Structure 1
C-alpha cells in the first residue's frame, strides 16, 4: 500500500543557509567592526602624523583562494595626541586635501607604506584586500569589488577601501570611498602603450569627463601638472677627491700646523641620481592649452620647482673613516713603544 507523500516535503530547501559569497561579505564586515573603522569612530582626525606606518591584517578564505585584508595607517604624533584642542575635520575633506598634496610628490620615492596607493593619493589610512592568487578574471574582480562595496556600506566604513587586481607585479588597484553625498573612485590602469589621446592635456581631460558619464554638462576640471627630469648618469662627471698629504712626516718639511688638517669628503660621488620637478599645483583646464599639435607648457614658467637627490648606499667618507680610526686608538691599551714596535 503506497502512502501519499506531500510534494513540499520532498523538495523543501532551507533558504536560511548562508552561501559562500554571503559568508565572505560577513567576514569582511566583522573585521571592519572589530577594528572600529566606522565613521563614528573616525570623526575626529588627528592633525599630526609621524612617518612610521603601522598596520594589522586578517586572513579570509573565498572560493578556495586566500585573501588578506589589511589596515594601514600613519602613526599619530604624540604632540597631536596630547593636544586638548583637536580640529574636527571631515574624512572627505582630509581625502581631498591629501590628494592635492600628493600632486607634488607623485611618482617620486614611496613613503614607506606597504602599498603605493598612499603615495599616489596622499592617504593617511586605508584598507587593502590582497589575493594570494592574481585577480585577472573580470567576473571575479567584479564579484570581489561588489563584496567590498556591500561590506563598506553595511559597516559605514570611514576608510578608503582598495582591492589589488591583475598580476602581482603590476601596480594596479581599484579603490573607493563613499558617504551620504559623495563617492570617490581610486582607479588605476596598466597600458602597454600610451595612446595619442593620453599624451596631452586636452585628451586626458576629455577621457576623464567621459569616465564620469555625467548627464549634465560638467564645469571646468581642476588640474595639477608635473614635469620630471631625472639625471641618472652622474658618474660621467669628474669627482675631485681631496687627499691628505704626508709631507709633515718628513724631517725637512715638518710643520705642526698640518697636523690639524683632516681629510674631508667622500671617496666617490655620493649622488646616485638627481630629480628635478616643475609643478603647476592647481589650475583650471582652460588656463593652459595643450593638444597634440600645440602646447603652452614651459617648464621655465612653472610656479613651483622641487629637486631631490638620491644618495648611494654604503659610500666611504674620509672624515668618518679617520674618526673611527682615532676611536679605535682610544680603546687600544697598548703602550706607545709597543705600538711603534
Structure 2
C-alpha cells in the first residue's frame, strides 16, 4: 500500500490519475486586522474616556482667574507606546487654590451642559489672563493662554523630530477628538524639549483649531516692532483663504534686565567667623547661637517689566521710525528677581555639618589622624598631643 500523501483533486475524466496538490503556499493578508496606528488611536480614546473628558461626561466648570501665586495645576498622567516609541500623556487643568472645589457628589449632580463648555477654548485664547506670567508651568500656558490642555511628549531619550511620525500622532489625535467629542486642546511636543515647540488641535462645536509654534534661528527685522508682528498675524489669519480682519487688541511688555552687581556692595556685613573658633573656654558661649544669612548677595539680577494691556491697535504706533511704547508712561510696572542657583548660606552650612557629624562613625584616632599621639614615658597614664 502506498503511503498516504493527503487529500488530492481527481481528474474530471474517469481516469485513475491523481492530481497532486500544489506545493506553493499562498498567504492571505487580512485587511480587517487593526494596525499599530489604529491600536494607538484606540488607546488614546480609552485614555480620554477614562479621564471622563469625552462628550456627555460631567466636568467641573472653568474656575475664575486669580493671582498667579494662587494658581495651581491638577494633572493626570499615563504612558502609551507607538511602534516601540514611548509617550507620556499629561492632562493639565487650571484651578484656583482659594476656591472650594466641588467634591465627587457635587460633580455628579452637575449637568453636562454646564460642565462641558465648548466655548472654554475660545474664551481662553481671547482673554489675557495668562499673558506675561513669569516662570509659568506648563509652557503652553503662556504660548497659547490655555487653562486646560492635554500634552503628549516622548518619554524616552529620543525626540519626536520625524515629521512623518509627528503627523501620524497628530492625525491620530484628530480622530480621537472627533470620536470622543472631547473639546480639550491636545498638543504634541516636537523637536528638542528645550525649544518648547508644540503642534496640536482642538475640536469644539464643529470648529477645529490648529496650534503651532515656531523657533527662528535668526529674528527677521520686520518682527522687531509691533507693526511687523501685526502684519505677520494678519497674514497667518488670511491663510489659506483671505479673511477681513478687524482691529485687534494688543498687550505689550518691555523688559529691562540688570545683572551687573559689581559696583554694589553687599548690604549685610558677613559674620565674624573667628568667634566660632574654639580657642578658649569663653568661645563656647557663642555656640548657643547659630549664624544666619548669606555670605554673598543671593540676588543674581533684577528685571523691570513695563506693561500695556488690552489696547486697541489704532491707539499705539510702534514701527522702525516711531514708538509710543515709552517705559516711563507705561500703565503697569513690575519687578522680577532672579536668585543665585545655590548661594552659600551660613545656617545651612552649619546644620549640614552637625548632621554629618551625628552620622560620623569614625573613631577618635581616625578623626585625629593629623595629630601625633605620644604616650607619657613616665607611665602617668596621660597622653601628650603635638601637631605634626
TM range (shorter): 0.7 to 0.9
**Residue among 72, 75, 82 paired with 1:61:** 82
Q: Conserved in 2, the CA contact under 8 Å of 1:45 and 1:91? A: no
User: What's the offset of the Cα at 1:274?
Assistant: 1.1
Partner of 1:330: none
- Determine the structure 2 residue equivalent to 1:109: 135
Q: Deviation of residue 220 (structure 1)?
A: 1.1
Structure 1 unaligned runs (5+)? 4-9, 247-261, 325-341
The residue number in structure 2 matching 1:128 is 151
- Indicate the residue corresponding to 1:201 in structure 2: 226
May I ask how many residue pairs the two structures share in their alignment? Answer: 301
CA distance in 1, matches of 2:234, 2:184: 26
Per the TM alignment, residue 195 of structure 1 is displaced from its structure 2 partner at its CA by 0.8
Which of 323, 347, 355 pairs up with 1:295? Answer: 323
Q: Distance between the aligned counterparts of 1:46 and 1:18, measured in 2?
A: 38
**Contact between 1:46 and 1:76, CA under 8 Å: does it hold in 2?**
no
Larger Cα-atom Rg: 2
Aligned-CA RMSD value = 3.9
1:164 aligned to 189, 203, 209, which one? 189
Alpha-carbon distance, 1:25 to partner = 1.4
Deviation at 1:182, TM superposition (A): 4.2
CA distance in 2, matches of 1:138, 1:243: 56
SS at match of 1:45: coil
The equivalences for 1:1-341 within 5 A come to 1=11, 14-41=30-57, 43-45=59-61, 47=63, 51=72, 53-62=74-83, 64-74=84-94, 77=97, 79-82=99-102, 90=117, 92-93=119-120, 96-97=123-124, 100-105=128-133, 108-111=134-137, 113=138, 116-131=139-154, 132=156, 133-180=158-205, 182-213=207-238, 214-242=241-269, 266-312=294-340, 315=343
Q: Is the 8 A contact 2:124 2:147 kept in 1?
A: no
Check the 8 A contact 1:175/1:185 in 2, yes or no: yes
8 Å Cα contact 1:239/1:269 also seen in 2: yes
C-alpha distance in structure 2 between counterparts of 1:142 and 1:94, whole Å:
23
Shift of 1:193: 0.1
RCO higher in structure (CA 8 A, sep ≥6): 1
Residues 181/200 of structure 1: CA separation in 2 closer, same or farther (3 Å cut): farther
Q: What is the rounded CA distance, in whole Å, between the counterparts of 1:264 and 1:67 in structure 2?
A: 46
Contact 2:77 2:88 in 1 (8 A): no
For the 8 Å contact 2:304–2:334, the answer to whether it is kept is yes
> Are the counterparts in 2 of residues 31 and 58 from structure 1 also a CA contact under 8 Å?
no
- Kept after mapping to 2: 8 A contact 1:229/1:275: yes
CA distance in 2, matches of 1:40, 1:285: 40
1:243, 1:201 → 2: CA distance?
A: 48
The 1:310–1:171 alpha-carbon spacing in structure 2 relative to 1, beyond 3 Å, is same
Change (3 A) 1:146 1:273: same
Q: Quick check: 1:226–1:280 contact (8 Å CA) kept in 2?
A: yes
SS, match of residue 234 in structure 1: coil
Q: Specify whether residues 53 and 44 from structure 1 end up closer, same or farther in structure 2 by C-alpha distance, changes over 3 A only.
A: closer
SS at match of 1:101: coil
Shift in Å, 1:226: 1.0
Equivalent residues of 1:242, 1:263 under 8 A apart? no
